[in-house]
Structure formats: structure tokens, C-alpha cells
């Protein structure tokens, strides 16, 4: 039995058909962890879909309404870069419920793990870059509302800049946004995070890990009540939408650094998967599974 729960729902699949975003990866990660015996059925918990009330703490009612009623404009669908379907909308509501559940689980277990989410390109009034609803922002607002957390630190290690996160929390002193990304990549416009680490093309393990350690040191002086970790698999050297050169081993070390920082300082960590577009989807699945393994190692070492 794992020392933390894996939050997962079969409805996470965004129903995209043939698309660069392998939306079936959620199920593949779930199945892989079961098949190799790393996790058992008892390790998984299923979230409910997030309530509209929770979503509306971050998103504009018009955007929510148009998503739910299938009345997005063609421009809005283009910007989202994924085909519209009812199943897609339901998947975002489920994944967001999953990130809230993972954050609540993290309070007791020190780590809570959503095998989904990390939709950091969603803005209050529009979606883009495969992201319709900002699950992490909704979860932060929900836990603040419940007075379970005060200050949140977002550690965004997806290869793309967390533009939605930066825009949503701009000027909010209760949330420290840290984005570590390839500078020369989507999104072209990058509203400033509190800490932005703009990486050159082709940066590899050593420089990446050094800069992550240094940034976390600064960020932890903020004394967050919880870390929201976006463990994107797309800094990987074989990623189709990324231009960094991390190895699978380097990515696991990245995860270890984040988990050891949180666990070592007694700050719970809520994890979401975010992006991952490796030429071979099996690689993306392995990278995400390694994040689950790094989480377990961090807790077992502490015992």
C-alpha cells in the first residue's frame, strides 16, 4: 500500500482522437502502475467533478457557461487547440475535482497525487493550449476558502511557461508562482510569475537541476502552507513540443528534489501531471510513473 493516494477517474480522458496531446495517458499511467504491481486498487481514489461554485472562484461565468452549453465561438475553440465535446468539458471538471481532492489528501498524507490536471494555460475568461479550466488555481482558492491553507507555492516544471497561473495570481501576495520553462517556446506572451526561470534551448539535466535547487531555496522562504507541483513530462529530450534536453533520469531527480524539499520542511505537496508529448507515448507514461515513484521514495526515506 502506498503512503499516499493516487487520485484518478476514467473520465480524465479528454476524448481528442488523433492529437499531439495523448489524452489517453491518464489511463495508461493508471494501468501501468497496477500492472507492474507498484500500486494496488486500494491506492486509488476517485474524485467527484468540481462544483461550479468552486470553478467560479477563478473563472468568469460567461466562460463557464459557454463551455457547459457548447456555445464557444470558433475563435475560442481554435485558441483552445482541442476539439470541443461534452466529454472534454466533463474531463476538465473531473480533473479539477481531482486536484482539489489531491490537495486535501496532501494535508494528512504529506503528498497528494492527481494522475491528471496541471492545466496551467487556462485564464479566467478563456482557455488555450489544451487547457480550459485552471484546476490548480481552483484548488488553491478552494483550500484557502476552507481555511485549510493560507499561502500556496506553485512549482511549475512543465516545459511551457505557466501563463494562466501568472495571470490569475498576479498581485496576490498569498500565492507565489514559480515557473521554470524553455523561454523560446509557447506561450509567446509570458505574463510575469513571481519567479520566472527562462531556460535557453537545449538545457540539460545538470543546469536544470542546479537552477531548480536554487529557485526552491528562495521560494521556500515564502513559508508556503502547501506546494502545488506541476510535474510536466515535456522537458524530456524526446518531447515533440519541448526543446530542452532532460533525460528520464534527470526528470526523476527533478521530482525527488521537489518532494524532498516539501517533505523535509513539513510542507505538503499536491501533484498534477501537466504536459508530456514524447514521440513515444510510453516514455511520457514512464516519466509520469517515475514521479509517483519519487513521491513514495521521499516519504519512505523520511520514516
Q: How far is CA 227 from the centre of its chain?
A: 11
Strands 6-7 and 111-114: parallel
CA distance 135 to 274: 10
Which helix (H) or strand (E) segment holds residue 264: the answer is helix 248-265
> Cα 118 from chain centroid?
2
Other residues' Cβ atoms within 10 Å of the Cβ of residue 262: 27
Nearest residue to Zn ion, using CB?
A: 275
Comparison of 232 and 262: residue with beta carbon closer to Zn ion: 232
Task: Catalog residues that contact Zn ion under the rule CB under 5 A.
Answer: 158, 160, 232, 234, 275
In angstroms, what is the minimal distance from the CB of 186 to Zn ion?
Answer: 8
Q: Which is nearer to Zn ion, 25 or 160 (CB)?
A: 160
Instruction: Write out the three cell numbers for 195.
Output: 519567479
Nearer to Zn ion by Cβ, of 54 and 158: the residue is: 158
Q: How many CB atoms lie within 10 A of CB 188?
A: 8
Distance CA 63, CA 27 (A): 28
Q: Find the shortest distance in angstroms from Cβ 2 to Zn ion.
A: 26
179 vs 256, which CB is nearer to Zn ion?
179
Residue nearer to Zn ion on the CB measure, 4 or 119: 119
Beta carbon of residue 25, minimum distance to Zn ion (angstroms, whole number) = 13
Extract the C-alpha cell encoding 192. 510575469
Tally Cβ neighbours within 10 Å of residue 109.
Answer: 18
DSSP H helical segments within 155-233, as ranges?
Answer: 163-168, 205-220
* N-terminal to C-terminal alpha carbon distance within the chain: 15
| Smallest distance from Zn ion to CB 167, Å | 16
Q: With respect to Zn ion, which residue has the nearer C-beta, 109 or 234? A: 234
Minimum separation from the CB atom of position 129 to Zn ion (A): 8
Q: How far is it, in rounded angstroms, from Cα 89 to Cα 183?
A: 30
Distance from CA of residue 26 to its chain's centroid? 12
Q: Report the residue number, 135 or 158, with the smaller CB distance to Zn ion.
A: 158
Q: Residue 121 in contact with residue 131, Cβ under 8 Å?
A: yes
CB of 284 to Zn ion, least distance (A): 11
Task: Report the nearest approach of Zn ion to the CB of residue 185 (Å).
Answer: 8
Amino acid at each position: 500500500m502506498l503512503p499516499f493516494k493516487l487520485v484518478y477517474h476514467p473520465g480524465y480522458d479528454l476524448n481528442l482522437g488523433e492529437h499531439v496531446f495523448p489524452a489517453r495517458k491518464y489511463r495508461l499511467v493508471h494501468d501501468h502502475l497496477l500492472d507492474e504491481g507498484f500500486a494496488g486498487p486500494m491506492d486509488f481514489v476517485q474524485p467527484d467533478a468540481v462544483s461550479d461554485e468552486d470553478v467560479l472562484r477563478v473563472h468568469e461565468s460567461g466562460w463557464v457557461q459557454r463551455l457547459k452549453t457548447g456555445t464557444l465561438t470558433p475563435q475560442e475553440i481554435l485558441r483552445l487547440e482541442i476539439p470541443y465535446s461534452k466529454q472534454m468539458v466533463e474531463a476538465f471538471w473531473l480533473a479539477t475535482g481531482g486536484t482539489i481532492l489531491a490537495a486535501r489528501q496532501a494535508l494528512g498524507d504529506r503528498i497528494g497525487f492527481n494522475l491528471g490536471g496541471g492545466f496551467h494555460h487556462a485564464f479566467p475568461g478563456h482557455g488555450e493550449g489544451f487547457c480550459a479550466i485552471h484546476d490548480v488555481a481552483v484548488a488553491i482558492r478552494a483550500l484557502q476558502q476552507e481555511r485549510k491553507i493560507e499561502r500556496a507555492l506553485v512549482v511549475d516544471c512543465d516545459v511551457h511557461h505557466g501563463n494562466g497561473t501568472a495571470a490569475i495570481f498576479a498581485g496576490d501576495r498569498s500565492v507565489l508562482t514559480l515557473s521554470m520553462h524553455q523561454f523560446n517556446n509557447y506561450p509567446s506572451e509570458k505574463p510575469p510569475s513571481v519567479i520566472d526561470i527562462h531556460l535557453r534551448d537545449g538545457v540539460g539535466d545538470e543546469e536544470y537541476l542546479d537552477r531548480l535547487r536554487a529557485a526552491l531555496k528562495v521560494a521556500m522562504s515564502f513559508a508556503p502552507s502547501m506546494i502545488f507541483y506541476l510535474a510536466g513530462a515535456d522537458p524530456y529530450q524526446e518531447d515533440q513540443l519541448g526543446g530542452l534536453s532532460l533525460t528520464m533520469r534527470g526528470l526523476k531527480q527533478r521530482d525527488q528534489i521537489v518532494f524532498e524539499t516539501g517533505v523535509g520542511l513539513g510542507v505538503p505537496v499536491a501533484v498534477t501531471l501537466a504536459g508530456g508529448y514524447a514521440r513515444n507515448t510510453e516514455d511520457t507514461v514512464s516519466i509520469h510513473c517515475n514521479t509517483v515513484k519519487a513521491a513514495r521514495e521521499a516519504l519512505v526515506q523520511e520514516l
